[in-house]
Amino acid sequence: MAEKIILDVDTGHDDMVAIVMASGLEEIELMGLVAVVGNQILEKTLANTLKVCELIGQQAPVYAGMDRPLVRPKVIGGDIHGESGLDGPVFPTLVKKPQALHGVHFIIETVLANPHEITLVPTGPLTDIAMAIRLEPRLPSLVKRIVLMGGSMGRGNRTAHAEFNIFADPEAAAIVFGSGAPIVMMGLDVTLQVVLDENRSATYGKLTTRTAAMFNASMAHYIQACRRHGSEFPAMHDPCCIAYIADPSIFTTEFHDIEIELHDREKYGKTYAGTTNGSGTVQVGIGADADRFWKLLDRAFTRLP
């Protein structure tokens, strides 16, 4: 049976790939999408989410989530994802509208209506998930699990110590990691192993569907932006969560306790991995079989317009 998920996205380039993969794989049932501030301001991440869904024919409802972090001042990722948050593709005039209900309430209502069945998939800052947990303390025991992109067992990418999604709202991350919910963490340790190299770009460049055209125009921007920031090839951070749900055997994981640095200025937003003897509560991605990841994306493309 397909896994019921809610995607909580700050739609930039790799979030877009996560939406494409979730929409094109029969292993996934997308119940709805919530946009959160992150790669850009909320108005832009919401518009990007709606545009991607409309272009690929994804009918699931889209909601607006939180427009700022819980405590810290807002930081956005415009240096990578551009002025729009998804620079590169040109989208048709948007028709799809967001739902009136707040995204945090959508998360709570959906989990309460489907106890132990919903997997939350946050691929941006954890602000919406933390708010949902604070509003509905039963949430951590009623979700099936949370499969998130964020953090790192080693270096960061936004600072030397912190990965962007955690750095953008460390207090929210502390609430989520401390909630007791079953968590799978796809951090930089694993996502940096899945990169779009020249061969792979050339292969996708030959695809002619409108989904592939959007992907290729997006990746043209993403590749340049990543090069400007010192990475040779761009990483497929966010879709690793979807690939993990569709086929966990693609990844190797270890159990750790994860704590978030909230006090040290220099290390603010760092994820500390504690227990290494397998008794930790967070399943942390360590290794990825990139070829098998790409096969899943290939399959998703074949099922989308």
Active site residues: 10
Question: Which residues in 36-55 contact ligand BDR (CB under 6 A)?
Answer: 39
**How far is residue 209 from each of residues 35, 54, 138, 204, 205, measured CA to CA in Å?**
26, 14, 43, 10, 10
* Out of 45, 49, 127, 165, the residue judged to bind ligand BDR by CB under 6 A: 165
The piece of 7-15, 58-66, 94-102, 215-223 that touches ligand BDR (CB under 6 A) is 7-15
Rg (CA), the chain: 17
Residue 209 is encoded by which pair of tokens?
A: 């569907």
Report the SS3 class of residue 11.
Answer: coil
Mapped onto helix, strand or coil, the DSSP state of residue 56 is helix
Among 69, 77, 88, 89, binds ligand BDR (CB under 6 A): 77
The percent helix, strand, coil of the chain (3-state, each to 5) is 40, 15, 45
Which residue, 141, 114, 152, is CA-closest to 240?
152
Q: What residues numbered 218-277 form the site for ligand BDR, per CB under 6 A?
A: 237-238
By the rule CB under 6 A, 8 interacts with ligand BDR: no
Asked if 164 interacts with ligand BDR (CB under 6 A), we say yes
Contact region with ligand BDR (CB under 6 A), list: 24-32, 98-106, 160-168, 222-230: 160-168
Only segment of 19-27, 134-142, 235-243, 292-300 that touches Ca ion (CB under 5 A)? 235-243
**CB neighbour list of residue 11: distance below 8 Å, 6 or more residues apart:** 19, 35, 39, 45, 48, 49, 52, 85, 86
First to last CA, the chain: 24
Q: Which residue has the tokens 């930089």?
A: 188
Q: Is 219 helix (H, G, I), strand (E, B) or coil?
A: helix
Q: Which residue is nearest to ligand BDR, using beta carbons?
A: 164
Interface with ligand BDR: number of residues (CB under 6 A) = 15
Using CB distances below 5 to 8 A depending on partner kind, what does residue 69 bind out of Ca ion, ligand BDR, none?
none
Task: Give residues in contact with Ca ion (CB under 5 A).
Answer: 10, 15, 123-124, 238
Task: Give residues in contact with ligand BDR (CB under 6 A).
Answer: 12, 14-15, 39, 77, 80, 123-124, 149, 157, 163-165, 237-238
